[in-house]
Structure 1
Amino acid sequence: MAKRMFDLVVAGLGLLLLSPLFLLIALAIKLDSPGPVFYRQERVGRGGCPFRIHKFRTMRHGAAGAQITVGADARITRVGALLRRAKLDELAQLLDVLDGTMSLVGPRPEVPRYVAMYPPALRDKVLSVRPGITDIASIEYRQESELLVRAADPEREYVEVIMPAKLKLAAAYVDQASLATDIRLILRTLGALFGGLFGGRGAA
């Protein structure tokens, strides 16, 4: 209950305080390329229930292709590249927090295709809580796209190396989840966010 109240208060204040930034982002997206401001994609939430996540659109509308992003993906727009570098596209998920499908902090929600590859025990644990906008895996693998571009087979690298490592971090979060842990991870995420805004790699 305390976590949910914390989520509601922080997400509500965040949407209010960040509304001017959201308007600027929306305007930049619309001026940069045709299509909607938001991108909606099916992800797997708590208890295995599917939901449609919000993101500010960073790719050309209607672009198809792999569900992982590798390096300088040709589908990404100019504005989208800036939003991704600073992780500003993820801020739209404050709407999902208010809706109750997500939390501020929790294991990042995956697409059904990759969730189907989770080992059963880890799948049950990771999906026992609401997915989050940020978690320790998001911070540790902030440069995931750059890691994948160096791999001979990016899809295989993600499935066999990166995803299992992120799953272990997600499971560790579930084991030690608390309001204090959430606050620490939010502060680390803000450090990484400001690092991205000013051109750095951000906090690890």
Structure 2
Amino acid sequence: MANKPAPYVITCGDEGVQINHGTRLSFVGAGYELPGFSQAVKILKKILDPKIKIASNQENDWIRKKMNLTDWDQTNASAQQQIEALADQEGLLYVGYLPFADPRKLKYDIKGHMVRPKKVHVANKICFTLGGGEQTYNLGCYQISADWVGSAPKKIVEQVILPQLEFYKKLSGIKLPLVYELAGVLGEKVAQKNLKALEKIGLKLSPFA
């Protein structure tokens, strides 16, 4: 009997988020107050799995900024509440919270944790997944799921992708090259279509070496 595929889980694209069991689909802030997120989720449910999961994480910079919070304790508590509410709103399954600790087994067969140093960002590039979520974890990458963009109108792609790029650039304070990963269950044809959709909104990307 074939192995059951690992469940898909939406997480923040923070480079510290590591999913040890599950396939990661990354959106800044796990999609909290991200324009166009609902449309992206609808497409991902259609092309990957109707029962996509979602996780919150410690030190979520996007949520801290969006909620004008001043400390991490507040942010960490708020992130859990907000992502659980977002799960209800979008028909996603909330799995729990990814901590700075050993890998934690969460609900719905998801396991993961935070692996970057606390209060420090080390990513030096932005990586787009194009073929069905994260295939290779890399601490040097802020990650963005673009596995759905070839099936979305250009306006929605811009709404979802561009604010994420802007945020990570500001967060890092350095120029971040854009790279992509084609591998995944969707296959190369779909991945290439997704790549073209990113190029249509003016992005210049290189293969992830």
Larger CA Rg, structure 1 vs 2? 1
The TM-score normalised by the length of structure 1 is: 0.25
Which of the two has greater helix per residue?
A: 1
The TM-score, its normalising length taken from structure 2, stands at 0.25
